[in-house]
Amino acid sequence: MSDKNKDHDDNQEPVIRDKRRVDPETGDIRAADSAAADESAAAEAADAADESADAGEQPAAGADKAPDELSEEDQRLLEEASRDLVAEMRDQMLRAQAELVNFRTRVERDRVANRESVIADVVRSMLPALDDLDRADKHGDIIEGSPLALVAQKINSSFERFGLRKIGEKGEAFDPAFHEAVVHLNDPDATENTIADVIEPGYILGERVVRAAKVAVSGPTE
């Protein structure tokens, strides 16, 4: 090496490059480093977005297959489950309809029973007056066309509209469901108990016995 070059190298001062990101005097991030950091952050964000998009496009684990992708066995099971569900829903509907019909029937039956019960209470309260009219008619006190006869006819017609009927007629077969035997007369020739006389008539409203008829019964010797 020549002396000239040697002198030149000896006189040249060393170059010091400060690579610190933070300026020691101002405390700010140097512009070049800040831009590089921003580019790095932007690149990382883009990579994260791409990864998220790829993950969203992939089907979730355990997701149901499309109908066309189901196997024959899966399709058969699906059809059986559908038929069972339809049958169960139909059965529930029929049960609900039957319960509704039964409910309406019970309501109507209770309504009729309550109506008959109220009418029966009214009839019972009027029975003494009906008995008096019946006895007066038997004794001939009620003359046809008289005011009393008209009153008796109106009363009997009013109760007949509600379905009230008189029970207990002479010569009828004795029925303990409708008749009350007050007297029993022995008749060796009789084969069954029959009503020999009506002591007090009975009344029936629909199928409800308001009062059993008090009768004298003639029948075989006990």
Q: What is the mean pLDDT of residues 119-138?
A: 87
Here the tokens at position 66 are 């499309």
| Beta-sheet pairing, 213-219 with 179-186 | parallel
Kindly tell me if the per-residue pLDDT of 221 is higher than 80: no
For 62-117, write each residue's pLDDT tens digit: 445 554 567 888 787 888 888 888 888 988 999 999 999 999 999 998 988 888 88
Contact, 148 vs 142, CB < 8 A? yes
Q: Is the pLDDT of residue 29 over 60?
A: no
Amino acid (one-letter) located at 30: R
Give the neighbor-by-neighbor strand order of the sheet with 194-200.
179-186, 213-219, 194-200
In this structure, the number of other CB atoms found within 10 A of the CB of residue 142 comes to 19
> Is the distance from CB of 190 to CB of 221 less than 8 angstroms?
no
CATH of domain 113-219: 2.30.22.10
Give me the pLDDT at residue 208, please.
86
Q: Is the pTM of this model over 0.85?
A: no
Taking 80 as the threshold, does the pLDDT of residue 122 lie above it?
yes
Per-domain boundaries in the chain = 113-219
Query: By percentage, how much of the chain surpasses pLDDT 90?
Result: 23
Q: How many Cβ atoms sit within 10 Å of the Cβ of residue 180?
A: 16
Does 37 have pLDDT greater than 50?
yes
Q: What is the pLDDT of residue 99?
A: 92
Average pLDDT over the chain, rounded to an integer: 77
pLDDT, position 103: 93
Task: Specify the pLDDT at position 96.
Answer: 93
What pLDDT, on a 0 to 100 scale, did the predictor assign at position 68? 56
Distance of CA 153 to the CA centre of its chain: 50
Q: 113: phi > 0 → left, psi -120 to 50 → alpha, else beta; which?
A: alpha
The pLDDT tens digits for 178-207 are: 999 999 888 887 788 999 999 999 999 888
- pLDDT tier at 142 (50, 70, 90 boundaries)? confident
160 pLDDT more than 80: yes
pLDDT for position 61:
46
Q: How confident is the model at residue 120 (pLDDT cuts 50, 70, 90)?
A: confident
pLDDT for position 104: 92
Is 176:197 a contact under the CB 8 Å cutoff? no
